[in-house]
Structure 1
Amino acid sequence: MRIARRWLTAALALTMGLAHAQTPKETFDPLIDAVMARYRLPGLAVGVIDHGEVIYMRTAGELARGSGQPVTPDALFKIASNSKAMTATLLARLVEQGKLRWDDPVTRYLPAFRMFDPWVTQHMQVGDLLTHRSGLREGAGDLMLWPEPNHFTRTDIVSALAWLRPVYSFRAGYAYDNLLYVVAGEVAAAAGGAPYETLLKREVFEPLGLSRCRVGEWRRDAMAPVALPHVKHDDAYIPSMPDDPVVHPTTMEAAGGVQCSLNDMLAWAHQWLAPTPQQLSWLPQAQRDTLWTPYTPMPISAQRRAWDGTRLYAYGYGWRIADVDGALTVSHTGTLSGMYSALYLLPDRQSGFVVLINGDADDARTVLVEVLLKHFTAPQKARSVDSYADELAAKEHTRRTSRVPDTSARHPATANELRSQLGTWRDPWFGDITLCPRDGGVIFATAKSPRLRGPVMRVGQRYLVQWEHGDAEAWLSPSTGKDGLLHLSKVDPDADFSYDYEDLAFKHVRGCE
C-alpha cells in the first residue's frame, strides 16, 4: 500500500509539474522584453526551433524608429555574414553537380587571381577561400567593402589581393577575412556560368522556398516591409534613411550582402536541423557534413570558456562549430553598420534560434544569444539579462579606460602645420586619397570610398582623422624621410577589424589641385 501511495504521489507531482510547465511564450517573452528594455533596441525579430518544430516567434520595435511601422516576421533584415553559409552552400551545390571540386585551384576558375606569395596563389584551393586560414591579417582589405556605398568592384578586390601582405603562413592559423568570400562568389559564377546573384537565387533561395530573401538589385517598395539600419548617436538610435529606392548590388554580396526575413531564416535553419527527403536530395548529407567539418581552429576567449565551458571552437565552410556546455553548436553571426544577426543550431536535438536586430547592438546580441543558448544547453546555469549585460558593461568600461586614449582635447589642424603632407597620396590597392585645405582646416578624402572622409584634428603632438560617419577614428602618421609613406592606425586599438588601416601605405603622387 505504501508503494502504491508513493507511486500515486509521484504521478500527481508529475502531472502538476506538467500543468505548470512554462509555454514557449512564457519562457522567451521575458528575455526579449528584458533585452529590448536594457538596450532600447529599434527593432528585433527572434525565432526558436525545438526538436524540429518552430515553437516561438516574436517581433518587437519598429522598422525605422519613429515610423510607427512595426517589425513583422516578413520584414527584411540584412543578415550580413550569415550570408557566408549560403555562399558555401551554393559552392556545395556546384560540387554536387560536378561543376567544381573543393580541392580545385582557384586559378582554374579565376586566372587573374593572385595572392602576395606566388606559391600561395598556385596552391590556394576553392575550400581554402572559406576557412579564414589564408595568412592575411584579420579583416585585410575590408576597406574595399565598407563603409557603404563605395566605388570598388569585385575585379578590384581580386586584383588587390596581390598587394596584401600576409602576417603568418598559409593554412597556419585563423584570421577572419571577407575578401576571399567575395572571391568564392566569383568562383561560383565562373563554375556555374551565371552571376553569383543569379546562382544564389536559383540554387538556394528557390529550392528552399526562401521567397523573400534578396540579393543583388531589388526595389524596397516592392519588397516592403524592410527594416532600416540604425546607428547610435548620443546614446540614441538614429535610422539610416536610404537615398535610393533601389538596392544595388555591392562588391560584398557573397561575404555579407543577403537580406532575409525571420520566416525565411527559420526555414533556412529548419532544413539544416530536420531536412525533408526532398531537401536531402537537393543537398545530400555528405555535402552537409563537409560544410560542418572543423577545418581551422579558432581561439577561445576567456569569456567563452567561463560562460559556455567551450573546449572546441573551429571554422568549417561558412559555419562556426563549437561545444557549449557539452552540446554541439553550429552557428554564425552577422555584423554590418546598423544591422546585427545570429543563427545558432544544436543539431543533436534538432533545435536552434534566429536573431535579427536593426541596430548597432553588439552587447545586446551577445546577451540574447547567451540566454537563448542556456535554455537548451544548461538551464541550471541560466543568468538574467541584466547579469550578463552588467558584466559586459563593466568589461567595456575597464577596456576603454585602459586601452583607448583620451582624444577629447582636439582642435582642427591647419594647412600650414600640415603643409609638407598636403596633396594626393596613393595606396596600390586602396587607391587615391587627398589631404587638402578646406574651410580653414585640412580634409582627408578618398577617391573610391566617399564616406571615408573627415577633418584632420590635432591631439597634443598627434593627428587623427575625425570621420564624418563617426566610427573608428584613425591616427594619421605623417610621412617622414625614413620611408616617405603616409600611414593610418586605429585610435581605439580594438575597433572593428574591418577598418584595416594597418594594411595601407600611401605614397605622395602630386599636390592639391
Structure 2
Amino acid sequence: YVTDHVTIADLFSHRSGLPDHAGDLLEDLGYQRDYIVQHLRDQPLSPFRATYAYTNYGLTEAAVAVAKAKGVAWEDLAADVLYKPLGMGSTSSRRSDYDAAGNKAAPHVKTDGGWQVSTTENADSQSPAGGVSSTVQDLARWMRLQLADGKFEGRAVIDPAALNETRTPHYVNSPPRAPAATAGFYGLGWNVNTDPEGRLRLNHSGGFELGAATTVTLLPSEQLGIVVLTNGQPTGLPEAVAEEFFDLAQNGRETVDWLSFLGKVVPAAAASPVSKTDYAKPPAGAAPAKPNSAYTGTYGSGYYGTLTVGEQDGGLVMTVGPAGLRYPLTHFDGDVFSFASKGENAVGLSGVTFTVGGDGRAAKVVVEQLDVDGLGTFTRS
C-alpha cells in the first residue's frame, strides 16, 4: 500500500513510515546511493502518514525521483534550477567540488585535548539532504529568493505557489508539551512554526558529528533571515547565534542565555544512543570465549551484505561493508564481544553476539550497533 501511495511530499515531510535516519548506517559502511535507496524497502515501517521520523535517505529518494523524471542527475538539476540562476558560484551538490576548492573550512571535532581537525564522510549518496557545500554569501542569495517568494533581483526563478507549498504544515512533528503551548510542524524540508506574535517562522538545522553544524531561520513577514555555518560538530552554537540575532532584532536584547540553553539541548538531541551495556567492564566471573575457530567465517545479511570474522595476532577481527571496515573484537562474556564503532553514527563500544550451535560453530551473529531496526543479524554462509 505504501509503495503505491507514497508521494514526494510524504518523503520530504518525513511521514512515510521509514524509521529515524533509515539508511545512514549503510552509508557509514561505504554503500552508495543506489544500494541504499533500493534497500530502504527492507526497513520496518511505522504507520504511514501517522508518524514522523527524520530520514536523509527518504528525502534523497524523493529528490532523485524528481531528477529522474527530468532525465538528469540531481546534482545537475540543483545547479541548473537554483545555483546558477542565483549566481551561487561557490555552491555545489558534489563533494569533489568542495575537495577541490582552494579556500574552504576544515571540519573539527571536540576531543579531550580540545578541537581537532576531522574529516566528514563523503555525503554524495545523500546529497539532496546533506551534501551541499556553500558559503554565507551564496546562501544569502538563496535567502533573498525565499523572502521574495521565488523572485531574485526582480526575476521569477521559482513558482511562488510551489515555494509556499514547502512552507505549509504537512505533519505535527512537535506536539504541544503543555496546555497553553503551541505545536511545531514540518513542511517540505522546513520546520514550520509561528513566533509569539503569530508570524510564520521557518527554520532548519543540519550537521555532521564529524565536524559541521549549520542553521537557517527566516521570518518572511519581516523580510528577515539569518544563516549560520560552522566547521565544528553540533554544539548548539549556530542555533544560539540565530536565536540571539532574532532576539536583538525583535526585543533589543537577549532575553535568554541562548548559548547555555542550546548548548545543552542540541548536543543531547544530536547524540547517537549508546549501548545500555558498559562493554569496558566485563562482568565478574565472565564466561570464557570458545576457540577462535568457533567464530571465524563468513556471514551474510540481506540488508548489510557480507560480514567476515577472521583471526589477527591471536584475536578476532570483524570486517563489514564494501569499504572493508575492520573492527578488532574484544571478549566480554561467553560468546559476546565488543568493538569500537566509528564513523558519523559512532556509538562508542557496541556488542557483537554469536549464537553457537551444537557443532561448536557460530551459526549467526548479531551486531548491536547495526540492529537498531532489527536488521543487524548475519547468518553464516
Relative to the length of structure 2, the TM-score reads 0.82
Deviations 1:128-169 (A, max 9, x none): 22110111111112112236xx2x233212321221111x21
Alpha-carbon contact 1:139-1:500 (below 8 Å) kept = no
2:14 pairs with 1:132: yes
Q: How does 1:421-440 map to 2 (within 5 A)?
A: 421-440=295-314
Secondary structure, aligned partner of 1:445? strand
**Inter-partner Cα distance in structure 2 for 1:172 and 1:319:** 18
**Inter-partner Cα distance in structure 1 for 2:95 and 2:211:** 20
Q: Which residue of 2 aligns with 1:479?
A: 355
**Structure 2 residues not aligned, in runs of 5+:** none
Secondary structure, aligned partner of 1:260? coil
Q: How does 1:29-178 map to 2 (within 5 A)?
A: 119-146=1-28, 150=30, 152-166=31-45, 168-178=46-56
Secondary structure, aligned partner of 2:105? coil
**Inter-partner Cα distance in structure 1 for 2:214 and 2:303:** 30
| Cα drift, residue 121 of structure 1 | 0.8
Q: Which amino acid aligns with 1:506?
A: T
Candidates 374, 395, 398, aligned match of 2:247: 374
| Cα drift, residue 126 of structure 1 | 2.3
Candidates 292, 308, 318, aligned match of 1:444: 318
Q: Which residue of 1 aligns with 2:102?
A: 224
2:230 pairs with 1:357: yes
Relative to the length of structure 1, the TM-score reads 0.62
Q: Which residue of 2 aligns with 1:258?
A: 132
Q: Which residue of 2 aligns with 1:507?
A: 378
Q: Which amino acid aligns with 1:372?
A: F
**Inter-partner Cα distance in structure 1 for 2:263 and 2:152:** 46
Alpha-carbon contact 2:67-2:77 (below 8 Å) kept = yes
Cα RMSD for the two superposed structures: 3.6
Alpha-carbon contact 2:144-2:152 (below 8 Å) kept = no
For the pair shown, the structure with the greater C-alpha radius of gyration is 1
Alpha-carbon contact 2:236-2:259 (below 8 Å) kept = no
Alpha-carbon contact 1:218-1:248 (below 8 Å) kept = no
**Inter-partner Cα distance in structure 2 for 1:208 and 1:177:** 28
Alpha-carbon contact 2:307-2:319 (below 8 Å) kept = yes
**Inter-partner Cα distance in structure 2 for 1:404 and 1:351:** 44
**Inter-partner Cα distance in structure 1 for 2:204 and 2:154:** 21
Alpha-carbon contact 2:363-2:380 (below 8 Å) kept = no
Alpha-carbon contact 1:457-1:466 (below 8 Å) kept = no
| Cα drift, residue 255 of structure 1 | 1.8
Larger RCO of the pair (alpha carbons < 8 Å, separation 6+):
1
**Inter-partner Cα distance in structure 1 for 2:81 and 2:18:** 30
Q: Percent identity among equivalent residues?
A: 24
| Cα drift, residue 370 of structure 1 | 3.4
Report the number of matched residues: 365
Runs of 4+ deviating beyond 6 Å:
none
Secondary structure, aligned partner of 2:189? coil
Q: Which amino acid aligns with 2:340?
A: Q
Deviations 1:409-432 (A, max 9, x none): 369x99746654332222212211
Which structure's residues are more often helix, by fraction? 1
Q: Which amino acid aligns with 1:467?
A: S
2:330 pairs with 1:457: yes
**Inter-partner Cα distance in structure 2 for 1:141 and 1:500:** 12
Q: How does 1:15-34 map to 2 (within 5 A)?
A: none
Alpha-carbon contact 2:279-2:351 (below 8 Å) kept = no
Q: Which residue of 1 aligns with 2:190?
A: 319
| Cα drift, residue 198 of structure 1 | 1.1
Q: Which amino acid aligns with 1:322?
A: N
Q: Which residue of 2 aligns with 1:329?
A: 201
Alpha-carbon contact 1:415-1:441 (below 8 Å) kept = no
**Structure 1 residues not aligned, in runs of 5+:** 1-118, 491-498
Alpha-carbon contact 2:43-2:373 (below 8 Å) kept = no
Deviations 1:188-217 (A, max 9, x none): 221111111111111110111111101226
2:348 pairs with 1:466: no
Q: Which residue of 2 aligns with 1:344?
A: 217
Secondary structure, aligned partner of 1:362? coil
2:66 pairs with 1:191: no
Q: Which residue of 2 aligns with 1:287?
A: 162
Secondary structure, aligned partner of 1:145? helix
2:83 pairs with 1:205: yes
